[in-house]
Amino acid sequence: VYFFQSSGRLLLPGNEIPMWFSFQSLGSSSITLKMPHAGWFSNNKVIGFAYSAVVGFRDHHVKEKRRFHLFCEFMKAKPEDCTEPLVGRCFLWHFNYVEADHLLLGYYFFGDHDFSAFRKHNCDHVAVKFYLEDVNNQHERLDCCPVKKCGIHLLYAPDSTEPTEDPRSTLD
């Protein structure tokens, strides 16, 4: 378990994406996010995302200790609209090899430097792809340990100009 101000992560045995993830892909390492409208990132309400990924180690056997990095790439889902289809890449995780499928859960808060291309290009369809790199082997992308399932849930900041309901008032 690791928690930091701008990101946090947790590794658990398992192979199911929690139901509360808004965007899910089963049997694939990528998801296309349909944003509510163009300019969704420019309104400063989207502050980050929670992610989940099921990594398949079961069929991959290693003789020496290996270390892996989990990355995700954000791309315009319609690259013909843009000369720069790759919008951003996030380093999400550093971990050692494990023996069975595991669920990686975490969050990532955007900084001012992150994903400025979203603001620039007003993306409304965003493709997210998760993948592993082998730290011991020149950061080579690994196809042998696939991301079998993945999920994204966008994190929003409350609008301070809108009234908020006191959660205690709804309790009986």
CB atoms within 10 A of CB 78: 14
Mean per-residue pLDDT, 49-58: 80
CA–CA separation, 92 and 120 (whole Å)? 24
CA–CA separation, 49 and 165 (whole Å)? 24
User: What is the predicted pLDDT for the residue at 93?
Assistant: 56
Mean per-residue pLDDT, 141-167: 69
Q: Has residue 170 been placed in a domain?
A: no
Helix ranges (H only) for 5-145 are 116-121
User: What is the predicted pLDDT for the residue at 172?
Assistant: 40
At residue 41 the predicted structure's pLDDT band, cuts being 50, 70 and 90, is low
User: What is the predicted pLDDT for the residue at 114?
Assistant: 58
Q: Give the CATH number for residue 103.
A: 2.60.120
How many domains would you assign to the chain? 1
| 24 compared with 44, residue with greater pLDDT | 24
User: What is the predicted pLDDT for the residue at 11?
Assistant: 80
User: What is the predicted pLDDT for the residue at 12?
Assistant: 83
Q: Has residue 163 been placed in a domain?
A: no
User: What is the predicted pLDDT for the residue at 1?
Assistant: 41
Q: Has residue 67 been placed in a domain?
A: yes
- HSE-up of residue 139 (Cα within 13 Å, Cβ side): 5
Q: Has residue 44 been placed in a domain?
A: yes
Q: Has residue 13 been placed in a domain?
A: yes
User: What is the predicted pLDDT for the residue at 2?
Assistant: 43
Q: Has residue 162 been placed in a domain?
A: no
CB 51 within 8 A of CB 33: no
Domain that holds residue 141: 2-157
Whole-number percent of the chain with pLDDT over 90: 3
pLDDT digits (tens, 9 = 90+) for 105-147: 888 887 666 555 555 656 666 778 887 777 766 666 767 677 8
